[in-house]
Copies of this chain bind each other. A is one copy, B any other.
Amino acid sequence: MSENPKIRFGIIGCANIARKVARAINLAPNSTLYAIGSRSMEKAHKFAANNGLSETVKIYGSYDQSWLPTRRSTCYWKKPVALDVAQLDHILQACESNGVQFMTGTMWLHHPRTAKLKDLISDSKLFGPINYIHSSSTRPGTKEFLENNVRVKPDLDALGALGDLGWYCIEAALWAKDNQLPTTVTALPDVTKNSAGVILSFTASIQWEPLDHTVATIHCSFLSHTSMDLSISASNGTMRCNDYIIPYAENSASFEFTSGAKFAELHIGWSVSPEEVRVISQLPQEALMVQELSRLAEGIREFGYRPDRKWPDISRNTQLVLDAVKKSIDLGCKPVSL
Contacts and interface: CB of A to CB of B under 8 A. Distances in A.
Interface of A: 16-17, 19-20, 23, 128, 131-132, 134, 136, 138, 140, 184, 186, 188-190, 192, 201, 203, 205, 207, 209, 213, 215, 217, 219, 221, 223-227, 229, 231, 233-238, 240, 242-243, 246-250, 256, 258-263, 266-270, 273-274, 284, 286, 333, 335
A233 B203 CA distance: 13
Contacts of A128: 225
State the majority secondary structure of interface residues on A.
mixed
Q: Please state the number of chain copies in the assembly.
A: 2
Contacts of A209: 189-190
A217 B242 contact: no
B225 A203 contact: no
Nearest to A128: B225
Contacts of A213: 190, 192, 201, 223
Nearest to A131: B224
Contact of A221 (B16, B184, B233, B333): B233
A234 B225 contact: yes
A268 B235 contact: no
Give the 4 A-B CB pairs with smallest separation, nearest first: A190-B215, A248-B273, A224-B233, A131-B224
A16 B190 CA distance: 40
Given A186-B188, A189-B335, 8 more contacts: A134-B219, A140-B235, A190-B205, A201-B213, A215-B219, A226-B270, A268-B284, A268-B286
Given A225-B261, A231-B229, A188 B201 contact: no
A280 to B, nearest CB: 15
Contacts of A236: 140, 225
A189 B333 CA distance: 12
A240 B140 CA distance: 18
Contact of A246 (B17, B192, B269): B269
Contacts of A270: 226, 243, 246, 248-249
A78 to B, nearest CB: 13
Contacts of A256: 242
